Structure 1
């Protein structure tokens, strides 16, 4: 069975949330079908191109998401909030006549819980500061700051890293290695 794909210019990790605005018929139809069948879709990072133009290239590892909220926005568009549940690997994908991408997915093994090592407590403090921003607070994420996976995932989403760096960090399967790489990238930013 094929799963709908939603290419974006941002990365979403497991347990992360992102607000989206839907107005194109293909995505409104996708959302309607997902709601009817109680299924989610996959958020994937765009490598090249522009999704709005109907043609883009994207990475083959993304995040399966579920709808958690929706409302009509003042602009008249449909606003939804989705939450990542698991990382997935795209094995095959195609684009329908309506422009909607879909693909076969394999759910990747969930990363093992990592109690945040003392050497990375500063990263949890940084994350707490970032989540004070009103736009992040509005997402109502339940973050366990003692969970090294969640600290790493949220920093991947929130830090001003390049999309290639974010994808690299998403694709890592070891939460300790992700924290190590984030710390290294922060050191480079400071220089």
Structure 2
């Protein structure tokens, strides 16, 4: 059985991938309280994409959210003008929202189930990276594309942690919509992820 946990959520109009970085600008008391709670207890919060509604205020009720999100760990905070707090987070693990509700402070709290990437090497023995069995030329083409989009991220290294990591980094940098990125985040099959990103690189959106 997959591990379950309760998380405070940041519903946002963005998609955070595992190992992805996200800058936030916080000013609402409820989210500042949640941030302090996570820092005090050394635990992550969850980032989920808003599918309908607003990021701020609850006058029209809580926003509708995607069913799959990513835990986020704070790596840096900075005081900004106007009473804002700048926060930089890194994505860690994917999760599925099983149920959620708004607490008395206005924070969305959820019971979540963590998801792991399901390696699929196709016609070969699976490995943990999801790269086994794929033609090296296809992998090289994606690495080359990432190097063109973000040379500093690759910096001459041809080894990548896995297909999910590679596809997530490309999705962050390609001009595709949030719905497409969310669909990739929800995908468990590295081969399907590869085909989707190859289509984006070919001009499909």
Give the TM-score, by structure 1 length: 0.85
Q: Which of 180, 185, 188 is matched with 1:165 structurally?
A: 180
Match of 1:104 in 2: 111
Match of 1:78 in 2: 85
Gaps of 5+ in 1: 137-142
Q: Displacement of 1:74 after TM fit?
A: 4.2
Q: Displacement of 1:132 after TM fit?
A: 4.8
In structure 2, C-alpha distance between the alignment counterparts of 1:144 and 1:10, rounded to whole Å: 28
Q: Displacement of 1:154 after TM fit?
A: 1.1
In structure 1, C-alpha distance between the alignment counterparts of 2:162 and 2:130, rounded to whole Å: 6
Match of 2:200 in 1: 185
Secondary structure of 1:154's counterpart equals: helix
Q: Which of 123, 135, 140 is matched with 1:121 structurally?
A: 140
Question: Is this contact kept in 1: 2:187–2:193, CA < 8 A?
Answer: yes
Give the TM-score, by structure 2 length: 0.80
Q: Displacement of 1:53 after TM fit?
A: 3.4
Using a 3 Å threshold, how does the CA distance of structure 1 residues 69 and 42 change in structure 2: closer, same or farther?
Answer: same
Aligned alpha-carbon RMSD (Å): 2.6
Matched, 1:174 2:166: no
Using a 3 Å threshold, how does the CA distance of structure 1 residues 74 and 11 change in structure 2: closer, same or farther?
Answer: same
